[in-house]
Every structure is written in C-alpha cells, then in structure tokens.
Amino acid sequence: MNKIIIFDTTLRDGEQAPGASLNIKEKLNIAKALSQFGVDVIEAGFPISSPGDFEAVKAVAKSIKGSSVCGLARAVKKDIDVAWGALKFARRGRIHVFLATSKIHMKYKLQKHEDEVLKLARDAVKYARNLCEDVEFSPEDASRTVPEFLLRVIESVINAGATTVNIPDTVGYAQPLEFGELISQICNKVPNINKAVISVHCHNDLGLAVANSLAAIKNGARQIECTINGIGERAGNAALEEIVMAIRTRGDFFKDVNVDIKTNQICKLSRLVSNLTSFLVAPNKAIVGSNAFRHEAGIHQDGILKKRSTYEIMSAQDVGFNKTELVLGKHSGRHAFSQRLKELGFHLKSKEIEEAFSEFKRLSDKKKQIFDEDLLALIRERFHKESKPIWQLRDFRIISGTALSPQAEITLRHKGKKFKADAYGDGPIDACFKAIDKITGIKIKLLDYRLESLTSGKDAQGSANLRFSAQGKEFTGRGSSTDIIEASIRAYLSAINRVASI
C-alpha cells in the first residue's frame, strides 16, 4: 500500500479566504487538533507576510510534535530566511518555496523569461536546502504552464534538492482527465522524479478540486494539499474530509493507497474550524453538512430501515457524527466540563477553565440543555482570545414596538471606564449598532448579517454572523446568546475589536 501524505493548509491558504483571520491561539488549537487527527504536514502560514504570521508559525513549530510543520516562502532569500527563522524550532520543519511558471504569470506578474524563472527556482531551492532538509517547491499555476517547460523546472528543482514537488491548479482551471494526464506525464518524463514526492494543490473555482486531486492520486501523486471544509481563496481548496472519505469509502477503486487519518474526528475538526473562522458549513456539504446523513424522502427512509447501505455509503459514526450530542447540564461538574472541551479540540489553562466553567453555569441557568454548539460558541467568544477585547459590553436597553421608533441605550467598558450612548434606528439591532458607533468612533461597512439557531428548542442560543469591510479588508464577526439582540451586539463588537486591534 502506498501512503497518501495529507498536507493541510487550513492555517495558510484557508486563512487567506476573506474574513477568515485567525489569531495565534486559534491557530494553535487548530494545529493541535490537526496533529491529533493524523495530518502528516501542517502548513502553518506565510511567515514573511506579517509579524503575526511569523509568530503563529513559530508557535505552531514549537508546539507540534506529531506532524511536520511547513512555512511558505517566495523564491526570495529574505522570504526563505524568515520562514526558516520560524520553522527552525520544529521537530520536523519544511520550507515551501513557490514561483509562477505559466506564460501569463511570467509575462504580467514576474516580467521574466523562462530561463530567468528556471534559475530563480533552482537557486531558491538550493538556498532553502542549505537551511532545511525538507524542501517543497511549487511551480505556481502549473496547470496552465507549457508542459515542456514545467518538466524542465521540476527536474531542475529536484536536482537542486527539492524533496517534494507540488503541482498547483492555482485557479481551478484543470479538468480531471487532463490533470491526471499531466501527473502521469510528470511521472513518466521527469528522469529524476523518483527522488521526490509528487504533490497536488487544487482550487475549486469550477467545483473540481476534489475530483482533480483524486485523479492525481490515480496517476501517481502521493501528497494531497487540502483544507478542512474546503475553505480558502475564492471558491476554496480541495476539502480534506472529502478526499479522505473518498479513498476510505472506495477502497476498491483506490486499492493501492491508504491514509493515516482518524476519520471519527472529522466532524469535530470541521466544527472547530467553522467556529473559529466564523465560516458556516452548508447543510448540503458533503461528509460534514448537517444534512449529509439525513433522509426525508419516504422511499429513502423505507430503504434505510430495511438495509442502511441502500442509501448510505458510509456511516455517520465513521466521520464522528454523534446522535446524542447533549452532554452537559447545570449539575455537571468541572471534570466533565473540562473533558468535553478537550474532546471538542480546545486546550485551556486551569484559570481559563475556571472562568469558562463559571460562564457555563450562567448559561445553564438560562438553558436547561447544553449542546456542543453552545460550548463552542461560549469558548470562541469569551475565552479564545490572545488578549482582552478593547471594547466590552457592559449593558444594553431597548425600547421598541409597533408604534415606536426603536431606541437603544448601550454601555461599553473600555480601559476600565464606562461609556454610554443611545441612538434610534430602523430596528432595535440597527439602533444598537448606531449607539456603538457613537461610542467607539469606528466605522465599518456591513456587507452581510445573518442569524441562526445554534441548537433546537425554545431556549436555543441564537448566533449572529456578520461580514464587514474596514481599511480595505474583509472580516467576520460572530456572537451568540439566548437573546438575539445581545448576540448581534456581541457580533458587532467582535467586528469593532478586530478593526481596533489592527
């Protein structure tokens, strides 16, 4: 059996999705969960891109023992030096160098000819290899690169010391048959290809990222670059959970390969990433969507009752869906609470657990039944931060009715002082947002506002999800409460705090 190396880039390419910004603490939690999940390589970030990214990669490199930790770098010495500065703390580090090779990129972005690009790629890999034994090279936009030139580049970087050569379908342009043929061509025509692992990194612009990745496996690729829930730039990346379950479920088709992934943790990891990025998983999303194992049609239900495999090709338990998600209530103790947090992927310090437990008790006074989604929201908003929020909600009051113009009075805490303002709005939530604007003086442009119920029942928590722009960037904000107005205020404040911390 040939092992397929699972290279997860949720913390790098996944985080590049507009609004998916993660802080160091959030990245560490996801990285630890990925390592426990069985991911072989974790691409923790792009160290040269910002001081925050450098520190995040460094923190992941220091903390993760079971997986290799990778950092991205352009084919530039400074990028490579900075990447190694963060990765040198890792038990197993990898420098990932990339350089565009397609005609359109070379002409308009790099403004260089083939021979210049070839030399830059070779020199960058050689320089990186002097620092690190494990070097990956990606010819960016490989699927639109002239095949003959691509083969020359691959041979050259392997001679320079690349241990992995990644073939990116950078803009999701390839079709499965042609992408599989490209990988086959690389396997058969690059004379030194046996000295490196062939990898692929597929984007989902045409909805073919997973299909292209699987086609690549059938034709010789042995590393797949992917993300949890398929998040990433534009339409996203190949979804890790879909690739893994396709290989596991269709062992008859992928009979010569296997993956070392604990599939029963898929659902937990999906929810963790969704919660920390504020990117909701669509109900019809394959493998991890809430409807993935639900059957409504009478014919389907009848078939399932008689023989589950009539309409289910895998079981919900295989990917970690738990039919009884209710785990805690107001009489639950600290040990059970702490244990459940660990199972959900959170690693808190003793003091944080005590504070979280107090918040849990307050929530359980409002809600009789506490679900996993309630705990995820509680930790995400109250405790999963690197520092205290700049602006904190102290109190709010609403006056509203059918014959009244909605009015909100908001009190916030900032640097130990209270600030109060009131405002009228088109509705109570609009009035709250305007009052907050008065106090903070921070203006954001709201692009999207959605409310959803986290769980079932009349006492369910409501989750407010915002997408907004500020200072030329897009962000997300998320808040939850049994009161949807409070949930909306918390979401708006999380947005304000993100902008204020820039």
DSSP string, 188-233: HH-TTGGGSEEEEEEB-TTS-HHHHHHHHHHTT--EEEEBGGG--S
71 and 162 share one domain: yes
Q: List the CATH number of the domain containing 93.
A: 3.20.20.70
Instruction: Give the per-residue pLDDT at 359.
Output: 83
The span from the CA of 500 to the CA of 440, in Å, is 9
Does residue 323 surpass a pLDDT of 50? no
**310 domain-assigned:** no
Boundary of a domain, candidates 382, 414, 445:
382
Least confident of 51-55, 115-119, 453-457: 453-457
Does residue 386 surpass a pLDDT of 60? no
- The position carrying tokens 């459940």 is 340
DSSP state of 23: -
Per-residue burial over 291-323, b if 16 or more Cβ lie within 10 Å, else e, is ebbebeeeeeeebeeeeeeeebeeeeebbbbee
Instruction: Give the per-residue pLDDT at 452.
Output: 84
Max avg pLDDT among 243-252, 278-287, 466-475: 243-252
**Tokens in use for 192?**
């030194």
**Residue range 150-156: mean pLDDT, rounded:** 98
Q: pLDDT category, 382, cuts 50, 70, 90?
A: low
Least confident of 59-73, 189-203, 454-468, 480-494: 454-468
Does residue 266 surpass a pLDDT of 70? yes
**315 domain-assigned:** no
The span from the CA of 227 to the CA of 236, in Å, is 8
Boundary of a domain, candidates 347, 382, 417:
382
134 and 270 share one domain: yes
**421 domain-assigned:** yes
Domain that holds residue 349: 334-382
**107 domain-assigned:** yes
Q: pLDDT category, 324, cuts 50, 70, 90?
A: very low
Instruction: Give the per-residue pLDDT at 368.
Output: 67
Q: pLDDT category, 376, cuts 50, 70, 90?
A: confident
**472 domain-assigned:** yes
Instruction: Give the per-residue pLDDT at 384.
Output: 54
Per-residue burial over 106-144, b if 16 or more Cβ lie within 10 Å, else e, is beeebebeeeebbebbbebbbbbbebbebbbbbbbbbbb
Average pLDDT, the chain: 90
The span from the CA of 139 to the CA of 149, in Å, is 10
The tens digit of pLDDT for each residue in 417-470 reads 999 999 999 999 999 999 999 999 998 899 999 888 887 777 788 889 898 998
Instruction: Give the per-residue pLDDT at 326.
Output: 39
Instruction: Give the per-residue pLDDT at 475.
Output: 82
The tens digit of pLDDT for each residue in 207-222 reads 999 999 999 999 999 9
Max avg pLDDT among 185-189, 255-259, 270-274, 292-296: 185-189
16 and 115 share one domain: yes
Q: List the CATH number of the domain containing 411.
A: 3.30.160.270
Main-chain dihedrals φ then ψ at residue 292, nearest 5 degrees:
-60, -30
Does residue 296 surpass a pLDDT of 60? no
Cα four-point dihedral sign 77, 21, 362, 290: negative
Bigger pLDDT: 228 or 309? 228
Least confident of 178-187, 312-321, 435-444: 312-321
Does residue 360 surpass a pLDDT of 90? no
Does residue 101 surpass a pLDDT of 70? yes
Boundary of a domain, candidates 256, 277, 298:
277
**72 domain-assigned:** yes
191 and 265 share one domain: yes
**290 domain-assigned:** no
**Residue range 123-127: mean pLDDT, rounded:** 98
Main-chain dihedrals φ then ψ at residue 388, nearest 5 degrees:
-65, 145
259 and 192 share one domain: yes
356 and 212 share one domain: no
Instruction: Give the per-residue pLDDT at 330.
Output: 66
Instruction: Give the per-residue pLDDT at 347.
Output: 76
